[in-house]
Structure 1
Amino acid sequence: MDSAESYKKGGGNSCAVNSCTNNRRKLQMWKKSMCELHNELHNDCPCLIPYKFHLMPSDELTKLEWIKAINRKTLPKHVYVCSEHFLDGAPSKRNPFPKLKLGYDSKVTPGRRKLARRETAVKKLKLSYENDSGDDNVSDSTGFEALDISVNNDNETYPEATCSFNVAYPETVTKSTQYDETDFLIYDDHPYAEKWSDMQTTSTQTKLLLTEEKGVQSKIEGGTMSANTNIVTDSDALLYTGVTKEVFFTLVELLRADNQFNFQLDIADQLLLVLMRLKLHLIFDDLGRRFGISKSLACKLFNSWMPVLAEQLKGLVVWLPRETIRACIPESFRENYPRTTVIIDCAETFIQRPTNLKSRSETYSNYKSHNTAKYLVGIAPHGHIMFISRAFGGRASDKFIVEKSGFCQYLLPGDEVMADRGFTIDDLLFPLRVKLNIPAFTKCQTTT
C-alpha cells in the first residue's frame, strides 16, 4: 500500500519504510503486556523499548536524503521512521539517514570522517618553498595547501575475514574460563631490526659458552638486570612489569612450582624478562644485553614461558555476575550510566607481515597502517578484565568481531554495553534486550 491513506487506519503513527509494520498501536500494546522476565508490565519493567519513532526533519537537504532512502512513490503528511532503520538506533551526526531494512536492496555504508594526510614529499616541497622565498607578503594560503591529499574510502568496502593464523581455539566457551588449549604465536624480532654485530667495548668482555644441552643456550657476561636488585619497590615493579611487587613475586613462586625448563637464569629473572618484553616491547637483542644472555636464549625464554603463563593465569579472565558489577560500580558511572555491565573496545597488536598474500591482506589494518592481530576486550566499569576474544585479522571490523567472538552470549536482558562510535552493533544487541551506550566524546571536555 503506497498511498497516504494506508497510514490512517487505526495504527496511529506508522513507520514510513516499505514493508515495516511498526506503529504506535503495537508499541502501546507492548507497554500494556506482561514481561515474562520481570513479571510486571513492560511499561514499568527495565526492559528496553522495542523501537522509537523519529519525525523526518524539516531541513530541505536532509529531507531529500530521507525521501531518497525511504524510496516510496507517495508519503504521508507527517513521515515517521522507527529506530530499527538507523545504524545508531536514531538519527545521529554520523548517520543521519535511515539505512537498515529499507525493503529493497541497498548498500549500507556507515558514515566516517575524512582523514587528511599530507605526503612527506609535499611537506618537503612546501618547506623548501618557504625557505627559498624571501617575500614576506606571501600568505599561508599559497597553492601548496591545495596539495594536501585527502583519503576517503566511503565507497570502498572490504570483505570481513579473520586472519589465517595457526592458532587453535576451543569451540565452546564457558563463563569461568575462555581458553582451554591454545597454541601461541612465536614472537621474534622484525626483519628490519638490525642485528647488533661486532659491538664490543674494552669495559665489557663477552664470552660465548656454546653448548648443545637441552635448554641451555649462549651465555654472555656483563648483564646487570636482576629481579632481586631491580624489583625493590612497587614503583620498580610497575615500571618494568606492569604489576606490583607482591603480585610479581607471587607469580614467581607459582611458576617455580611448575618449572619444566633448564635455563641458567633464576625463575624470577626469567619472569622479569618475559614481562619486560610484554610491558616495554623490548627487542630480544636489548633483553639479552640487559640480562647477560644471548638473543637466541632471550627469544627461547619468552616463547617457552608464554603458554605456561596463559595456562596458569587464564582463570583470572572471568565474567563477573551482575550483582558484583553493580556493587563495585564507580561513582562516575553510578550517576550517568548506572546499568553499565561492560565496556568494550578492540585492541590491535603489530605482527610481522605475512608472506602469504591472502593473509597479508586479511591482517592489514587501515587504522594502524600495519599488519596487526585484532581482538575484542571487555572490561567491567571498575576495571576488571572480563572478556578477551580470540585473534582476528586487523582488517576485520569491530561489528564482525563482536558477532563472531561469542561476546553476546554473556549478556543478559537489561544489561548495558558501553562502546565508542565505531561499534554499530545495535542490531546485534536489540534482540537480546541489551542497550548500547555511546558517550559523547569531546576533544577538550570530560565525557558526559
Structure 2
Amino acid sequence: MPQRYCCICSNHANKYVDGKKITMHRFPSNDKVRKVWIKRCHMIRSDFNFKNYDQTRLCSEHFVGKCGPTKEHPIPTLFPTRIFKLSRMDASESTSDASDQNKEESMDTSTEMESVQTADTSLHTTGASEYASLDMHDYFGSEFTTVTSDFVHVNKCTQTVFAVSQDQSVQTNKMSTELKNNFCQTDSNKCDFLCQASKPDIVFEDIQESDEKIMFYTGIPNKGTFNLLFNEIVVPYHRTQTDTVKNCGGRPRCLRIIDEFLLVLMRLRLGLLIEDLSDRFHISRSTCATIINTWIDFLSVNLSFLISWPDKETNDRTMPVDFQMKYPNCRAIIDCTEFFTETPQSLSNKSLMFSHYKSHSTWKALLAINPRGVITFVSDLWGGSISDKQLFKKCGILDYLEAGDQTMVDKGFLISDLTTPKGVEIIIPPFKRNGRFSRREVEETRRIANLRIHVERANERVKNFRILQGTMPITLSKVASKTFKICVALSNLQPPLVLR
C-alpha cells in the first residue's frame, strides 16, 4: 500500500502548510532522475529503505516553489537538514559515481561563506537574531548544530550555526524565505529522543516584558508575581514529574516546565480549546490534554494556600475604615455564584443541575470575602438546584465563624436559625413591611449595598477566567471544582478590592 506520509518529514496528504495543500509524489520512472531522488533522500535518511520506491512518497515541500516537481525543477532540493544547490538535471547529477558524491560533500565552506555574505547581507542582519532566539529558547537539539550543509554561516555573537544555500535559479530574497521556512523543520524520527522540535508560537519570554500581556494571557498581574508563584511550585512539581518518569518508565515531555505552566494558565484565562493549544505549542492533542489534567490536579493542591481564612486579629488589623465605622465585627461577606454547563442526559442529574433562577443547567458555588475584598473561603461546585441556605449549611463555612462575628449576606440567605445558636450576627437588607420601606430601612439598605458590592466585584474577577464563561462542557464535571478553585486562587493574586 502506498505511503500516506512523506518518507523524509512528517507531512501527509491533505495537510495545509502556509495556506498550501501538501501533495504526495511518487518516485519518477526515469532511471536517471529516480537515482538522483534516491541518492539525495538517502543522504538525509540513511536508515530508510528506498529500494521499494514504488510505494514511497515524497511531499511537495521538498521542491523549489513547494508545489512538487516541475519541468524546470524536477529534483528535490529542500530538506530539513540540508538544502541542495541544483534543482535540475545536469551532467554531475545524472551519474551515480561515488566520486561525484564525495566531491559535492567536500565543498570549501570558507569560499561559499563569502559568496553568501556578498549575495544577501540582509540575511545576516535579520535572520541571525531570529535563529539566535530559537537557539536561546533551547527548543533545538544537538542535531541542529552538527548538520551537513552546502554553506555554513556562523553568527559571531550567538555562535548559532545554521544552513544556508544559494539557488542560482531563484531570487535571493525568495531563498531567504524558503530557508527560514525549512530550517525549523526536522526529521520526525530524529526528534523522538530530543526536546521540542520547533519553538512554540508563544513562550513565556514572548510576554514577560509586558505586565499587560502577562495579565491578559495568565490572569497574574505582573512578571514579579508570576516568577514568585512559579518558583514556589516548580520544584515540587519537577520532582513529581521526575519520579514518575523514573518509576513508570515514561518519556520526558517536550515542552519546558515554564511553558507547560503557561499553557495551563492560557487554558484557564482565555478558555482556549485543547486543539488550539496543541497547535500553538506544536504538540499533539493527547499530550496537551495530559499536561492540562496533570497540572490541574497539582495546582488545585499547591495553590490552596492562596485561599485562607484569616484569624480575628488579622481581620481587625486590616479592616477598612468604612467597615470600622459601620460594622466593626464583620468577618465575611457571603454570596453564591453560578456557571452554565451542558445538560446531562440522566433525568435525575437534570433535575439536580437545573437552576430556576438561571433557567439553565448550572454549577453553583459559595464565596466569602473579608472586608478587604480578598476571597477567604470557596466551596465545591454543587448542582444549580440547591438553595443558598442549603449550600451555606453543607459547605462548612459555619465552622469558621465564631461567636460575636458579623456576616453580611443578601436576602436569599435566610440562615438566622443556623447562625443564632452559634452567636453569629447576620447583616441582611431589611424586607418590606406594608409594601414600603421606612426612611431608616432605605438608609440601611443603601449602606449594606455599598459594602456588599465588593463580593460582586470579587465574583467578576473570578469569572474573567474565560474557562468559566459560556457553557462549560459536561466532560469537565470531574475537574470542575478543582478548576474553579484554581481560578479563585489566581484572582487573589491581584491587588485588594478595598483600600484602607
Q: TM-score normalised to the size of structure 1? A: 0.49
Higher helix share: 2
Greater Rg over alpha carbons, structure: 2
